[in-house]
Amino acid sequence: MKTNKISTKIKTLGALFIILMAVIIFTTVYLNNKNKKDALVINIVGKERMLTQKISKNIFYLYYSEKTNFSELNSASEEFIQGLDSLKNGNKLTGIEPVPNDKIGQQLYKVEILWKDFFDNVTSFKKLQIKNDEESEKLLKTVVETIYNTNNNLLNEVDELVTLYTLHAEDKTVLIKNFQYLAAVLILLLIFYAFTQLKGIEENANKFLEF
């Protein structure tokens, strides 16, 4: 009867160790993978900030040089739109998830609204740039001035979005560290528990042998 109890205790301790280690490994891998995705998201948001400047600079260059090659402008605009869509709705191809919390969602909405107006002006610029009449030139000047005045607002809101995503990622890093500390404490407690149980088993075994 005692042999069965000893065997059960040993099996229970072994099972607890296996389960605990499996949970720790799985959770650590999962959280680290989340961190990698966060780094990818921050990279996308940072690129969005860069693209707003690139679009504005390209517009000013085209306006003052009176050129009509919009390939770089179109490429930057399309990349910004794709990045914004990935941040808002997620991207299955890259593993990016949709908006992680309400605060980021609200900031993303602000950026989306500002971008819509900004992009409307970019579209108007392209249409007016290829025209040569006096009326179009007046409208074009107004559009370029509007882009100049609104560019900083868009840039600042995108910059705030970068900050929010960075803080969100840092919170996850803290979560991983706290989990690892907790896991270490649980392992130590389990080792202590196993030691006391094995000691009790050893004492019972010695008594049995003496008997």
Q: Which residue has the tokens 């009176």?
A: 66
State which residues form the domain around 189. Answer: 18-210
pLDDT in tens, 161-206: 999 998 888 887 777 777 777 777 777 777 777 777 667 666 666 6
Residue 12 belongs to some domain of the structure: no
Residue 88: CB atoms within 10 Å: 14
Counting Cα atoms < 13 Å in the Cβ hemisphere of 160 gives: 15
Choose between 110 and 25: higher pLDDT: 110
Residue 138 has pLDDT above 80, yes or no: yes
Residue 151 belongs to some domain of the structure: yes
* Local structure of residue 91 (DSSP, 8 states): B
Residue 1 belongs to some domain of the structure: no
Q: What is the mean pLDDT of the chain?
A: 83
Cα–Cα distance for residue pair 134/122, rounded to 1 Å: 20
Cα–Cα distance for residue pair 144/121, rounded to 1 Å: 8
Contact between 55 and 122 (Cβ < 8 Å) = yes
Indicate the pTM of the whole model.
Answer: 0.72
Greatest mean pLDDT range, 28-37, 95-104, 172-181, 200-209: 95-104
Contact between 51 and 80 (Cβ < 8 Å) = yes
Residue 71 belongs to some domain of the structure: yes
Q: In the chain, how many domains are there?
A: 1
Residue 2 belongs to some domain of the structure: no
**CATH number, position 54:** 1.20.120.1730
Residue 180 belongs to some domain of the structure: yes
Residue 54 belongs to some domain of the structure: yes
Please report the pLDDT score of residue 34 as a whole number.
67
Q: Which residue has the tokens 């679009």?
A: 55
Residue 3 belongs to some domain of the structure: no
3-state class percentages of the chain: helix first, strand second, coil last, to nearest 5: 90, 0, 10
